[in-house]
């Protein structure tokens, strides 16, 4: 799971607990201006293929965490419970997309969207 805050027009993502070990990442900071779109995605699949793993952990059907390269895009995953997934599309960043599990997806999306327009 990931916690998200917005501090001074920067989206701060903190990977929680053992997910840090599995994702090989602890924290990310993304300028809000680099967010193209954010939305909930409760139907996210934890299936067999998420792309080339660079580095990360994938237990099919159970857990996906880390950096994956698929269809020409670099994606960061941290999802165990798909119903709590949000997707953040980025521009001008090392990642093209962040696919993360948060505690309250709808409220998190609303908070990020509110800061995108200011």
Q: How many domains does the chain have?
A: 1
- pLDDT bin (cut points 50, 70, 90) of residue 45 is low
Residues 76, 70: Cα–Cα separation, whole Å: 11
Q: Over 80: is that where the pLDDT of 21 sits?
A: no
Mean pLDDT of 40-63: 66
User: Residues 16-54, buried b or exposed e (16+ Cβ, 10 A)?
Assistant: eeebeebbebeebebeeeebeebebbeebebeeebbebe
Q: What is the DSSP string of 25-69?
A: --EEEEEGGGEEEEEE-TT----S--SEEEEEEEETTTEEEEEEE
Indicate the pTM of the whole model. Answer: 0.87
Chain mean pLDDT for the chain: 85
* DSSP per-residue letters across 64-98: EEEEEEETTEEEEEEESSGGGEEEEEESSSS-SEE
Domain that holds residue 108: 2-116
Banded pLDDT at 103 (limits 50, 70, 90): very high
Averaged over 82-106, what is the pLDDT? 95
């Amino acid at each position: 799971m990931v916690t998200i805050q917005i501090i001074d027009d920067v989206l701060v993502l903190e990977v929680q607990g053992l997910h840090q070990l599995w994702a090989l990442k602890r924290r990310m900071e993304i300028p809000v201006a680099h967010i193209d779109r954010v939305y909930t995605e409760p139907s996210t699949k934890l299936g067999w293929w998420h792309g080339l793993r660079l580095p990360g952990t994938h237990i099919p059907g159970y857990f996906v965490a880390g950096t994956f390269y698929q269809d020409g895009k670099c994606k960061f995953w941290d999802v165990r419970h798909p119903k709590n997934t949000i997707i953040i599309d980025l521009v001008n960043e090392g990642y093209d997309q962040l696919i993360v599990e948060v505690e309250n997806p709808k409220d998190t999306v609303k908070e990020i969207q509110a800061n995108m327009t200011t």
